[in-house]
Amino acid sequence: MTRFLPKTAPWVAPVLVGVLVLLFAATQDSFYRLQLGTLSGIYAIAAIGLTLLFGAAGQISLGQAGLLGIAAFSTAYLTVDHGMGPVPAGIVAVAASTLVGLVLGWCALRITGHYLALVTLAFGLVFTELTRTVLPEGWYGVPPLAIGSLDLGDPQVFFVVVWAAVVLVLVGSSLLVRSRFGRSIAALRDDPVAASACGVDLARTKVAVFGIASALAGVSGWLFALYQGSVTETSFSFTLSFNLLIMVVIGGLGSPGGAVVGAVFLVLAPELGRRYEEYRLLSYGVILLLVLALLPGGLASIGRLVARPLRRRRDTPVEEPA
């Protein structure tokens, strides 16, 4: 039965997430907890995209916050200043974020490693500085999500919408990792020379994975603008890019489900330790060290560690009676 595990595994995490989300939405009437849950889902989408880029393809990016910001500012500009609906504005915003990501991917064709990290870091810093000088006041009054006459802006409904998007992205990314393209991006990460010798188009693969991660960052930025109702220059600083990277590392590199776990953990953990706000960065460092030392596969590997004894017991051959 273990040979069927790779085919069924991509559906386990989305189904589990969907069930937990429905239970949470049905039992929670606390506005504050719904806000935390919604924010976790928004960041989880961007973290899944970074998992594909960094964990699966090995292309580090420290400028994902800038891509979220492009989509969020585009959404605010189109809805507030031009009266466009949230959904059409979201399509344009995601397209803009994806286009910028493709340009970054094209720029990354000749650089790798820490040079790529510096380029993406520079992009994030330039975006932050531009928004600080050009748009210091930001935008306010972004309308809530609505499709025609259907209002989806209620906190409980919007929470379900966000996590429905997380489940869809989780299914798609899990299947993508196991597809032919997923094997190509894994080859790009492990050995680009060998991958090129086997026929993998490295340039197309690298640009494509940058585009996918940027599109997911755009979806996250669009949802963030609708969730906040406003967009300011402080919302997309380097700290957000750093937090997204921590989500991916804590959850487990290359694991889309782990990115979701990391996002939820990193959003809720500061709330649990709000009394000790001055030790926030120190706690992040300690958590990273503990995860890297004790769980090299991230928090997502806990489920595999628990399931391993059960799998061994199931696969142990039963001796026939003499």
> Taking the mean position of all CA atoms in its chain, how far away is CA 181?
19
Length of the chain: 322
CA–CA–CA angle 213, 141, 162 (5° rounding): 40
In this prediction, residue 115 carries a pLDDT of 83
In this prediction, residue 272 carries a pLDDT of 65
Domain boundaries, the chain: 2-236
- The Cα–Cα gap between 208 and 230 comes to 31
In this prediction, residue 215 carries a pLDDT of 95
Query: Taking the CB of residue 147, how many other CB atoms lie within 10 A of it?
Result: 11
Query: Is-above-0.75 flag for pTM?
Result: yes
41 Cβ contact partners less than 8 Å away, ≥ 6 residues apart:
159, 162, 163, 165, 166, 223, 263
Angle between helices 238-251 and 113-134 (to 10 degrees): 140
In this prediction, residue 216 carries a pLDDT of 96
Q: How many helices (H) and strands (E) does the chain have?
A: 13, 4
Sign of CA dihedral 148, 149, 150, 151: positive
- The Cα–Cα gap between 299 and 199 comes to 34
Which residue ranges in the chain fall short of pLDDT 50? 1-8, 310, 318, 322
Phi, psi (rounded to 5 degrees) for 62: -115, 25
Phi, psi (rounded to 5 degrees) for 44: -65, -35
Residue 78 near residue 286 (C-beta atoms within 8 A): no
Beta strands 150-151 and 230-231 are unpaired
In this prediction, residue 321 carries a pLDDT of 53
Q: Which two tokens stand for residue 226?
A: 């609708």
Residue 259 near residue 35 (C-beta atoms within 8 A): no
Residue 86 near residue 226 (C-beta atoms within 8 A): yes
Return the SS3 of 307: helix
